[in-house]
Amino acid sequence: MKIFTWIISIILGLLIAVLAFVYFSPQYSMYMVRSESMTPTINMGDVVFVGPPDGIFSGGIGPGTIITYGSGNELITHRVVAQEGASFITKGDATEEPDSAPVNLSQVVGTYLFKIPKLGYMVNFMHTKIGWYVVVIVPAIIFLGLIFKEIIKEVLHKTTA
């Protein structure tokens, strides 16, 4: 049981560290995918993490690169299929035709780094009152209970020894 607690603690710690990095770094962001246009690479409900095109985790923008860009009031995550000067021609993996308008570098929010499948559904659920309790409060109480149990066992073990 102790190993299980350590493994869960390490996983939660890493997840919190990554989310904190993305939250506090203005160049990195995460977005929930709201369409099936990039299936099977990225599915609806996945959360994608993006970073600056010239960042240490990306290799710039060129054909084959997945980018997130602003178009009007929405963000779109599609693959670059061609470059024409300073503009990019993009297309969803699940669509036949390229997007109707080229994407300028100034529209690019970031390049795709990685995804967490279906996390977007949990994020949406967490925005409800019941979701907040189920996803955040209850696991936190269970986790704290496991830690408290280990502390009590340790204290009782030392007093009987």
Q: What is the pLDDT of residues 56-85, one digit of tens each?
A: 777 789 999 999 999 999 999 999 999 998
Q: Among positive and negative, which fits the CA dihedral 37, 40, 41, 42?
A: positive
The verdict on residue 96 lying in a domain is: yes
CATH of the domain at 76: 2.10.109.10
* pLDDT above 90 (res 115): yes
Clarify whether residues 104 and 133 are in a common domain.
no
Burial tier of 80 (Cβ tally within 10 Å: 0-12, 13-18, 19+): buried
Domain match, 94 and 138 both: no
Residues in the chain: 161
**Average pLDDT for residues 146-152, to the nearest whole number?**
91
Domain check: are 77 and 135 in the same one? no
Whether the per-residue pLDDT at 1 is higher than 70: the answer is: no
- Identify whether residues 33 and 81 lie together within a single domain: yes
Confidence of residue 161 (pLDDT cuts 50, 70, 90): low
Written as six digits, the tokens of 102 are: 């080229």
Burial of 59 per CB tally in 10 Å (0-12, 13-18, 19+)? exposed
Contacts of 23 (CB under 8 A, 6+ apart): none
What is the domain count for the chain? 2
Edge to edge, the sheet with strand 103-104 lists 29-32, 47-51, 108-116, 66-71, 74-84, 87-91, 103-104
Same domain, 37 and 60: yes
> Region 96-106: what's the mean pLDDT?
95
Residue 133 pLDDT level (bands cut at 50, 70, 90): confident
Does residue 1 belong to any structural domain of this protein?
no
For the full predicted model, state whether its pTM sits above 0.85. no
In a domain, 37, yes or no: yes
pLDDT tens-digit readout, 20-57: 887 788 889 989 999 999 999 999 999 999 999 988 77
Instruction: Identify the residue with better confidence: 5 or 52.
Output: 52
155 and 76 in a common domain: no
Same domain for 34 and 89? yes
Tell me: do 82 and 138 sit in the same domain.
no
Whether 21 is in a domain gets the answer no
**Is position 139 within any domain?**
yes
Burial class (CB in 10 A: 0-12, 13-18, 19+), 113: middle
Q: What is the distance, to the nearest Å, from the Cα of residue 98 to the centroid of all Cα atoms in its chain?
A: 26
**Could you give the CA distance from residue 29 to residue 10 in angstroms, rounded to a whole number?**
23
**Domain interval for residue 51:** 28-117
Same domain membership, residue 113 and residue 158 = no
